Amino acid sequence: MRLANRKIILGVTGGVAAYKSAYLARLLVKAGAEVQVVMTEAATKFVTPLTFESLTGREAAVEMFPVGRYFATHHIVFAEWPDIFVVAPATADFIAQIAHGHCGTLLAAILCATRKKIILVPAMNEGMWANPAVQKNLEILRGYGYIVADVGVGEMACKSFGPGRMAEPDEIFEIVAGELEPQGLLAGKTILVTAGPCREGLDPVRFISNRSSGKMGFALARQAARLGGSVTLVTGPVALPDPPGMSVIRVETTAEMAEAVTTRFPSVDYLIMAAAPADYRPARRADHKIKKTGTTVVVELAPTVDILKSVAGIRRDTQVVVGFALETENDVENAKKKLIDKRLDYIIVNNPLEEGAGFEMDTNRVTIISKDGDQRRIDRADKDVVAQKIWEYLTTDGKR
């Protein structure tokens, strides 16, 4: 079985999505894992401890000081026992507690004491998810090395619609399994991923850029690390924290990104160019801010370096080079031309005009095209899920 003899603590906090955690517990047990559920008092208002006890064969822990069974190191025993923690759902309140070291519940105290890997699966109303304090707390926890699952987009229990839904149990299971499997699909491989936009200066204040958020490239980098790869992420200016477990290089211009890629490319097994570097830059950059005069200003543009073409001439036969194409018409046909012109092994194309595939979104839908003519469509899903499916295709299509 996939998770045979692995020990997992499943933390459940007080959100309506707690009912999904019962399904998750069942999936983990069926895969062979020993599962210990630790609930907050609020969680018991949504699902009873008896439900989890029936599914796991273990008494669900709730109280910090259980009557008749108190001993001072109760939380330390739990902190050291598992191979991994997963908290699903993780409410906004619980996220705030652990982000700031509060230990008022048994579950929070256990997480504060542990040195094991922790997966958080947020779940909340879309207004709460959008709250900057919540996002700041998640940023803090990512910086501490927590793995934060992406939220889903859809209708809430409160009838509102938007991001904030807890990931589905099978998606959470795959994240947990990916973290526990010692030999992932990319074990022993070196991966270079690019993400985000580039900025080409017009003057000291203004620049030419695009709307790329970097979310797809960051998801590909995270999934590559989870699959056991040694990952380097080269990113343009984005509002995303550095993912843990990899080397992150931040650049601004297309020339800087090209240098970072070409310097490291000879030693990698996979290059995934998910970034959106600028095709053109101002031919002349003004030394001082261009003043508004009321007259027309003409900006002459010069082409930037084509990063993928520059590495095509130095690549080894064993290296895998993957490009991205964003097309608003004739998607597949235009992508195939780029695939051939840039000597790629694969190209991944998406259309921002399609529902769920626009700029700065948490979801995407893509088509993978191989140099041998094979095509694989990945329908709308969270970008981490899309990234996982992309890596599964790249590593198991029978060609390498």
Catalytic residues: 158
Residue 162 backbone zone (phi > 0: left; psi -120 to 50: alpha; other: beta): left
CB burial class (10 A; 0-12, 13-18, 19+) of residue 194?
Answer: buried
Q: CB-based contacts of 114: which residues, under 8 Å, 6+ apart?
A: 79, 80, 85
CB burial class (10 A; 0-12, 13-18, 19+) of residue 312?
Answer: middle
Backbone dihedral angles phi then psi of residue 138, each to the nearest 5 degrees: -65, -40
Q: Which token pair is 354?
A: 């399609």
In the block, residue with structure tokens 């699966």: 121
Give one DSSP letter per residue of 157-194, joined into a string: TTS-EEEEEPPPHHHHHHHHHHHH-SS-TTTT-EEEEE
- 53 and 60 Cβ atoms separated by less than 8 Å: yes
* Measured torsion, CA atoms of residues 111, 117, 121, 126, in degrees rounded to the nearest 10: 80
CB burial class (10 A; 0-12, 13-18, 19+) of residue 209?
Answer: middle
